[in-house]
């Protein structure tokens, strides 16, 4: 029997990178004991340091009290072994790199180590949830919980329902996302879900417009910000997400949906040149010390 919302007291986050540390942050803020595991030694501790910095910023901005920051930090533990991190847990959220085999391998271990009633969730942004769920004995308890970056700021969570997901697991994921202060939407297990599919079409078209000299990257971004009220333009967003990440998703969606997702040459060239966006210092913009140059 699946845990209830009230029973979700311990949350295991697998992968402490861009998304994992943010997920750990928001779960701790609503009172969960969080175990943060990463396969790379030191990565969970680095994730914890990032959470501390983000919480400090929250205190500076008056959004978080110093007591709440300290309490949230006190609830997060870096755990060095995956099976130990899943022992007696209530919810496991996986945020390892976007590779199906890796996710299946992780859930194989999680499935054996976590209680049978724990809810399992993957933060994949594009892989079929059914294929990931097939790696566990009871696929019905595994759903997609697709958070957005930065997790402690962005309000959307796509809860992704594959064909054999238990209705109770979907409802629990929706309820927990709400508890986190997010707005969940429920999406069928289809390529790119709702947000990646639509967001990528805009991003790829913006890149084609740069290629064709229609306007500069900055002007295209301004068009979407001022003309459509987007908080950020599609090319700046691409720099934040990572050009390599967007290329991978575009290639996958080209196969899964069709040629409207064919990656533009400018995207391939930039990735080949190591221009991956903010994380490498250059993408469609130049970045210095984490800020646009
Ligand atoms: P990332 O590369 O920043 O972090 C992944 C972390 O997983 C790394 O710290 C890595 O050491 C760790 N890892 C690798 N193998 C592992 C294993 N076997 N066990 C535990 N940890 C392992 O990646 P990310 O951007 O956080 O993406 C993680 C997932 O979230 C992907 O599925 C991605 O598609 C999805 N996602 C990313 C974004 C985004 O904007 N970056 C947004 C939504 C969803």
pLDDT at 100 > cutoff 90: yes
Q: Which atom of ligand 1 is nearest to the CA of 14?
A: 20
Ligand 1 pocket mutation pick from 12, 14, 15 by most atoms within 8 angstroms of CB:
15
CATH code for the part of the protein at 195-292? 1.10.1040.10
State residue 286 phi and psi, 5-degree precision: -100, 145
pLDDT of residue 218: 98
pLDDT at 125 > cutoff 90: no
- Which tens digits make up the pLDDT trace of 182-192? 999 999 999 99
Q: Which atom of ligand 1 is nearest to the CA of 17?
A: 4
pLDDT of residue 69: 98
pLDDT of residue 199: 94
The rounded distance, in Å, linking the Cα atoms of 70 and 160 is: 33
**What's the CATH fold of domain 5-188?**
Rossmann fold (3.40.50)
Nearest Cα residue to 246 out of 284, 203, 185, 211: 203
Q: Where are the domains of the chain?
A: 5-188, 195-292
How many angstroms is it from 145 CA to the middle of ligand 1? 14
pLDDT at 181 > cutoff 90: yes
Q: How confident is the model at residue 126 (pLDDT cuts 50, 70, 90)?
A: confident
- Which tens digits make up the pLDDT trace of 18-48? 999 999 999 999 999 999 999 999 999 999 9
> What's the rounded mean pLDDT across residues 175-200?
96
């Amino acid at each position: 029997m699946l845990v209830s919302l009230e029973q979700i007291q311990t949350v295991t986050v697998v992968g402490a990178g861009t998304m994992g540390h943010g997920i750990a942050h928001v779960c701790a803020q609503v009172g969960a004991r969080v175990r943060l595991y990463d396969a790379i030694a030191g990565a969970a501790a680095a994730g914890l340091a990032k959470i501390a910095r983000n919480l400090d910023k929250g205190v500076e901005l008056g959004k978080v009290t110093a007591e709440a920051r300290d309490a949230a930090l006190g609830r997060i533990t870096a755990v060095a072994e995956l099976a130990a991190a899943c022992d007696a847990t209530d919810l496991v959220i996986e945020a390892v790199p976007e590779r199906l085999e890796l996710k299946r391998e992780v859930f194989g271990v999680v499935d054996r180590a976590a209680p049978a009633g724990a809810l399992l969730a993957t933060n994949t942004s594009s892989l079929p949830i059914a294929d990931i769920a097939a790696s566990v004995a009871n696929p019905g308890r595994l759903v997609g919980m697709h958070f957005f970056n930065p997790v402690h700021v962005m309000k959307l969570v796509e809860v992704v329902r594959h064909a054999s997901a238990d209705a109770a697991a979907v409802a629990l994921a929706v309820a927990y996302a709400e508890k986190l202060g997010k707005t969940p939407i429920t999406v069928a297990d289809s390529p790119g879900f709702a947000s990646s599919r639509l967001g990528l079409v805009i991003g790829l078209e913006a890149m084609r417009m740069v290629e064709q000299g229609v306007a500069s990257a900055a002007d295209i971004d301004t068009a979407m910000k001022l003309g459509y009220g987007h908080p950020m333009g599609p090319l700046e967003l691409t720099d934040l997400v990572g050009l390599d990440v967007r290329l991978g998703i575009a290639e996958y969606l080209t196969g899964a949906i069709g040629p409207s997702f064919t990656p533009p040459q400018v995207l391939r060239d930039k990735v080949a040149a190591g221009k991956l966006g903010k994380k490498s210092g250059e993408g469609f913009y130049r970045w210095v010390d984490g800020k646009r140059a």
